[in-house]
Amino acid sequence: MVQNVLVSAGELSGDLYARRMVEALRRRWGEAVHFWGMGGPEMAAAGVEVVVPMTDLQVHGVVEVLPNLVRLFRAFRRLVEEAERRRPAWALLVDFQDFHFRLARELKRRGVRVIQMVGPTVWAWRPGRVQALREVLDKLLVIFPFEETIFREAGIDADYIGHPLLDIVRVSLGRAEFMAQRGWTPDTKVVGLLPGSRPAEVRRLLPVLLEAVRALQQARRIQPFVVRAATIPEATVRSTAATHGLPDLPVVSGPAKYDWMANADLLIVAAGTATMEAMLVRTPMIVVYKLHPLNWWIARRFVRVRYASMVNILAGEMVVPELLQDACTPTAVARLALELLDRPDRRRRIIERYLDVINGLGCLHAFEEGPRVIEEAVRRWT
């Protein structure tokens, strides 16, 4: 008899993590499990039956959530209704914390075992959530080493499985080959822009970064490029670049982005998953971010960590510079970029600290350890 399992992801990184986890589980179980749920193109490519597309669900902060409540509620109700009809053996929920907390609560009421991959950042804000999580989660797979202790001490069955990006980020081209393929001279400074994966992030950050690039081009010989998330239409990026006087700006996406990122001299990165990717390709970065003013006001009062990027949080110090909110201006970004481009010694120190942080993540492989932990848990439940 084929077992049916609900898998849900609501963001770009979660869609990719879910795909890799499903593929790894299939290698163990073959076709004995049918996966269905909410996700995007990555999950669909892994053969998951996507009954609720995650399109347009990527929102961040109170102000952006409110206009999208109807879409979020419809997706939520559809998943609950499908769970009632299909009666899944268990569920794997990947990140997308607030949505999945409510979904986990509904699933538990219906007798469904719940596994969450990626722990909520209770160590950063809203620590009270941890008690409620204990009531709705049967297993939690965390991706940072320090989280396992935090959740276990709160009575949650948590396991550190390794960070998924350690198995995803791959670089195939060295600097000389990369530059030669593009006809760029060795002395050209390559600067990558990563403005985020949510539409609101890109609207706020991309114009700032493009104006910073224009200023940089007046001072140095640089070759900029943009890394486009799959959630952002290429036409949006190109039209914005053209508006800011950069119509020929290279726009890259997909796995090839890692070759571009690794061979850049500097990356300017929106706070989020991309900062981990930049660290793993060993390229110095400037971290930038802008929120809606109300969301920023809330964050300033309730967030308990000193830094915006996981690289700095994991290091416990300011390894890479951060320009946030009002400090994130074209002039400030360009000035700081020039400082880093002109200081190879400073860039080397950043890379040295990257290696310390990467070593601290350990040697576990998320898509080997995760399936092992899941299989062990499912065996106990059946």
Q: pLDDT tens digits, residue range 216-270?
A: 999 999 999 999 999 899 999 999 999 999 999 999 999 999 999 999 999 999 9
Instruction: Assign domain 3-163+363-380 to its CATH superfamily.
Output: Glycogen Phosphorylase B; (3.40.50.2000)
Q: Give 178's pLDDT tier (boundaries 50, 70, 90).
A: very high
Every domain range in the chain assigned CATH 3.40.50.2000: 3-163+363-380, 175-361
pLDDT above 70 as % of the chain: 93
CATH numeric code, 175-361:
3.40.50.2000
- Buried b / exposed e along 335-370 (16+ C-beta atoms within 10 A): ebbbebbeeeeebeebeebbeebbeebeebbbbebb
Q: pLDDT for 316-375, tens place per residue? A: 999 999 999 999 999 999 999 999 999 999 999 999 999 999 999 999 999 999 999 999
Q: Give 382's pLDDT tier (boundaries 50, 70, 90).
A: confident
Q: pLDDT for 50-102, tens place per residue? A: 999 997 565 554 455 565 778 889 999 999 999 999 999 999 999 999 999 99
Task: Provide the pLDDT for residue 239.
Answer: 98
The Cα-based distances of 48 to 26, 31, 41, 212, 308 in angstroms read 11, 12, 10, 42, 33
Is the per-residue pLDDT at 293 higher than 80?
no
Q: Which range (5-19, 45-59, 97-111) has the least confidence?
A: 45-59
Q: Is 55 left (phi over 0), alpha (psi -120 to 50) or beta?
A: beta
